[in-house]
């Protein structure tokens, strides 16, 4: 759930800065997008570090593919030990 929160936060920051630059100051669309991207990245990196780290760990857990050591069964531990011996 933290992944969704972090993503929405970054998108809101990006589109907020983009709208302010593009519509408010009438800047070029590409320049507004590039600056909005940098500002959204910097703000979330500096001020939302805990949320970023939590979202990264959650995402890594989903894509790791392996089962955590705590959830392994005794049979899986025996198989791993047999593979290590050969």
Q: What does each C-alpha distance from 20 to 6, 17, 23, 27, 82 come to in angstroms?
A: 21, 5, 6, 9, 62
pLDDT tens for 9-46 read: 999 999 999 999 999 999 999 999 999 999 999 999 89
Q: Where are the domains of the chain?
A: 2-85
pLDDT for res 33: 96
Which pTM value belongs to this model?
Answer: 0.65
Q: Both tokens of residue 11? A: 């998108």
Mean pLDDT of 57-83: 74
């Amino acid at each position: 759930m933290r992944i969704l929160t972090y993503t929405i936060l970054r998108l809101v920051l990006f589109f907020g800065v983009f709208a302010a630059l593009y519509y408010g100051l009438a800047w070029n669309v590409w320049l507004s997008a590039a600056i909005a991207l940098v500002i959204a990245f910097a703000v979330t990196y500096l001020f939302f570090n805990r949320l970023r780290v939590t979202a990264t760990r959650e995402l890594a857990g989903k894509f790791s593919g392996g089962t955590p050591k705590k959830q392994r069964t005794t049979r899986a531990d025996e198989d791993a030990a047999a593979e290590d011996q050969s």
